[in-house]
Structure 1
Amino acid sequence: MDPIRIAIVGMGKIARDQHVPAIRGNSAFSLAATVSPHDAGLDGVPHLASLDALLHDGPAVDAIALCTPPQVRYDLAVQALGRGIHMFLEKPPGATLAEVGTLQAQADKVGVSLFAAWHSRFAAGVAPARAWLAERKIDSVSIVWREDVRVWHPGQAWIWQPGGLGVFDPGINALSIATHILPRPFFLKDATLILPDNRAAPIAADLHFRDTGGAPIHMDLDWRQTGPQSWDIAVETDAGTLKLSQGGAVLHLPGSTDHGEDVEYPGLYSRFAALIRGGRSDVDTDPLRLVADAFLRGRRETTDAFHD
């Protein structure tokens, strides 16, 4: 079977650090091209300045990994889907829920695969955590996602703009895990969003959810963390405490700890290949829906201006 010819559109840090090695490590794919107006591309791989140039003058591709900021993703995705190209959407899958729903409808219409790729769901500890929790009674959940924005998102102005999500850009990773591992759906009760007075997106947030069985879920997001970083989910159950740390890579169960390997992006591309070969899509908007609810219902508070 011939490899799937894939192009990466948007050559930022995540594309270079994660997408390129994951594609090159998966024999189901061949990296056919890269696209970016601001990047020189990779040695030995055709590089184009725009998606228009790729579609009109570049090498033929079967699939695209769309790694641009979410605010500009919709028009690019529509253009590629119209050409019958399979689409991998980096998280978050779009700037709005309606955009993603429209893309899903178009993908279904033209018969190509659309993949809303939540990379944190493929962290090593997530699948066994989901299995362990499936038969447990959930008493409460604590999510603490605190990191230093200057380390992880230096100079990324788009992330502070409307649609960029601010601290929910990493926070949505935690929600993608929580919506996947918890056995019951949950919904927002109240939220406080902390916005720097020179930015349009929050630098911190405090959120209270409740699942359909009544269990409380508290989420603490902050981009002002220095020193050790925190990406932790703790679930109190009738059989003891489950904890996922390091963004889902390490699973702590009563009496055991499992340190997994970094398999997130290799797992994503294995899933994408299977979707394409099977003629299916995977578009889960639950994490984005919860973030949208936070912006819909959350109370805003202002803090000091933020400067990179």
Structure 2
Amino acid sequence: MDTAKTDAARKDAERTEAFEAQRPRLMRLAYRMLGSVTEAEDAVQDAWLRWTRAGDDIAEPAAWLVRAATRLCIDRLRAAKAEREHYRGPWLPEPLVEPLADPVERAEDVSVAFLLALERLSPLERAVFLLHDVFDEDYASVAGTLDRSEAAVRQLASRAREHVRDARPRFSVDAATAQKLVTAFATASATADFSALSAMLAEDAVMVTDSGGKRPAALRVLVGREDILRLFRGLQWRHGLPPVERFDMARINGAPGLIMHLHDGPETMVLEADADGRIAAVYVMRNPDKLTRIGGG
């Protein structure tokens, strides 16, 4: 066999192995940066294409790949700024669905509330915060990744922390209780049991429904128990609440949630509970563009 071809094949295999070893980390980083599994996969694929064209003298493949993926995500965030500003109705991240048992992600780092807080950051602030505070890279490494001074990176990190400090869920209930709560809420919603809904909701609960304007949904964030109940009462009075064909339990963005199958397609629902075990937040995804990974049957 030709020696040159053998060497090339060996180098290709080593390059592929080095990339695949980093793929899970790159995907976790890209999802937190972009709030979309689909876009994260595209960014990681772009990083792979750059990796295949890189030279053979890269001393630290892991650092090189993190740098490439981070910069690609920053470019995507900047390009999507106008689109996000004109998004119809509230925006939520694409649901991250994992098995109920043995999940990969830490719940507090992929919660909907946390990802929404990241949306308030600039692309650079988000990159610095994630790389340092979530992925435990030191400031010198982050500075190298972003071509910024270490002092600038520290300032960006400090500013980012101010925005996200209170975003992680402050209270938690055990998985069994959370599953009962989300199932009870879905059942009460589907059967128009407003007394049960009222008892479950915290007085200052919020409800966010993302449809991108492509399916019926509230076009603003609902704030307070009465605001949420008013929506359900209005839906029941005008059209009757849509029947749920079935629902499946799932771990969605780190929390017990539901995949609900309706006549017009699937939707996901995630709840966050407060210290009293009442529902503090309801996040519903109805945008079909963000539900392509969830079957409707």
Asked whether the two chains share a fold, i.e. TM above 0.5, the reply is no
The structure richer in helix per residue is 2
Q: Which has the larger radius of gyration?
A: 2
Q: Shorter-chain-normalised TM-score: which range?
A: under 0.3
TM-score under structure 1 length normalisation: 0.23
